[in-house]
Amino acid sequence: MKRKIKLMAEYNYSPLWDMETADNLDLDELPLSSSIQKKLSNWAEIYNQIINWDNPADSRFFDAASQDNFEKEGVNIWKQLQEELSPNYQIFYFSEKQQRLLAPEDASEAIKEKEVRHK
């Protein structure tokens, strides 16, 4: 049985989550390259920078371009995680922009949408 992992940004947490237990995962718990670990850490740090600690419900990206860039990088990381962790893991992605969970089979469509928007 494949282990199900969710890629989802959350303030002050690793962006990887065990979907069975809802536990936050340390990046060292998975067989990840140093390259993807660095990308995950950088992506999480970008998300941490948008928090409004005085009013967390008011937290948002500075502008639409910032949100688009964050989403684009999230989709790129999602694709790389699928490549690195296959075939023992299923990687899901929570899209901040779409506000929904995308399944592994949704990846090719998300990548196509990203390419169309950025041409």
Express each pLDDT in 46-79 by its tens digit: 999 999 989 988 999 989 999 999 999 999 999 9
Please state whether the predicted TM-score (pTM) of the whole model is above 0.85. Answer: yes
CB 92 within 8 A of CB 75: no
Its domain, for residue 100, covers 3-117
Q: 3-class secondary structure for 43-99? A: HHHHHHCCCCCCCHHHCCCCCHHHHHHHHHHHHHHHHHHHHHHCCCEEEEEEECCCC
Mean pLDDT score of the chain: 91
Give the rounded percent of residues in the chain with a pLDDT score beyond 90: 79
Radius of gyration of the chain (CA): 14
Query: Is the per-residue pLDDT at 111 higher than 80?
Result: no
Query: pLDDT class for 36, splitting at 50, 70, 90?
Result: very high
Q: What is the pLDDT of residue 17?
A: 98
Measure Cα distances from 28 to 63, 71, 79 in Å: 33, 24, 19
CB 27 within 8 A of CB 14: yes
90 pairs with which residues across the strands?
Answer: 4
Number of domains in the chain: 1
CB 118 within 8 A of CB 72: yes
